[in-house]
A = this chain, B = another copy of it.
Amino acid sequence: MQAKRMGRQSCRLPSRPRVQAFASTAGKKEGEGPLRETFDVVVKDDTLGEKSWEKAEKRMLADTVTLCLNKAGVREEDVDLFLGGDLLNQIVSASFAARGLQIPFLGLYGACSTMAESLLLGAALLDGGFGSRAVCATCSHFSTAERQYRFPLELGNQRPPSAQWTVTGAGATLLTAKPDFPIAVESFTVGRVVDFGQTDENNMGAAMAPAAADTLLAHLKDSGRPLEYYDRIVTGDLGQVGYALMRELCEKEGLALGDRYTDCGCDIFSPEQGLLAGGSGCGCSAVTLNGHLLRMMEKGQIRRLLFMATGALLSPTTTLQGESIPGIAHAVSLEVV
């Protein structure tokens, strides 16, 4: 069994759990961006007809999980585990979505790294024989995140160029132990919490980039793979500032990331949309993976993907108490088999 360990932070998954289905729901603004054709659903109204943004976010997550199961033709009672979380205090979007779904639930909090955390835990539990199917999902909503983390929406305050825009969106991946599907979860790397002392809460990208570089280096070291092993290496939501810093940090370690490296936060909006440094939030990497990236894998345009969702582990309270912003990144290796 210990043969699954590749090194300090990484494990392979010999049974290679498969992606049976995936689904994504995106907000209005995200649906006007470059990835619009890759989402299953683009909502016309970010309230989804609900009375509060929070209720809308919960509904978006629950609907996306249901859509994912429907795409696979799988019933709730045939899914053994729901692994998920979100950005809201006490991860209420995920918990309330789980209330309706009646799938045994494991709540996670990894800030914007949740999509990778849920995938790696789901895949590990299936590989370990603890279930046949697991659904891994997360979401975020601009309006709930903004008013929880920053300012009342009504304030309409200015934002510095390093600020990112929280993506309204939800993504779900259904994993199965049955080897009947072409995309497999091959290995993963669990991140460490890394903190370079960044204290500007309007520059999350810079706070998360060191964690992303740390996890990428750990993954390559543990697996003994060159960078070129992967067709694509993707971070979750570093945005323009963090993306440049990630390249710089890797270059210092002798790794030229080149064209194969992209960031969901940079790709989800176009510069014309005027959203400063790009997208962020759990939903950013979740909708990009469960739309754009997995579709590219289905078409064989990407055969080996290293998906690294990145999270900034701050709270408004820690910022007020003068703490710096710790980051984390988890990596999941997906392969067409």
Which residues does A use to contact B, with CB under 8 Å? 1-5, 8-9, 11, 15, 51-52, 54-55, 77, 80-81, 85, 88-92, 95-96, 98-99, 102-111, 117, 121, 124-125, 127-132, 148, 177, 190-195, 313-318, 321, 323, 326, 328
Contacts and interface: CB of A to CB of B under 8 A. Distances in A.
Contacts of A316: 89
A191 B85 contact: no
Nearest to A128: B128
A221 B302 CA distance: 45
Given A1-B15, A102-B192, A108-B109, 10 more contacts: A9-B104, A51-B321, A90-B315, A104-B191, A105-B191, A106-B110, A109-B109, A124-B124, A124-B128, A128-B128
Contacts of A107: 108-110, 117, 313, 328
A109 B128 contact: no
Given A54-B317, A117-B107, A81 B190 contact: yes
Contacts of A2: 129, 132, 177
B5 A315 contact: no
A326 B90 contact: no
Contacts of A109: 85, 90-91, 107-109
A54 B192 contact: no
Contact of A1 (B99, B104, B128, B148): B128
A101 to B, nearest CB: 8
Contacts of A117: 106-107
A11 B314 contact: no
Nearest to A315: B90
Given A5-B130, A9-B104, A128-B125, A193 B99 contact: yes
Contacts of A317: 54, 88-89, 92, 148
Contacts of A108: 106-109
A51 B320 CA distance: 13
Given A129-B4, A130-B11, A326-B96, A106 B313 contact: no
Top 3 nearest A-B pairs by Cβ distance?
Answer: A128-B128, A1-B129, A104-B190
A10 B313 CA distance: 32
Nearest to A104: B190
Contacts of A54: 317-318, 321
Contact of A125 (B15, B124, B177): B124
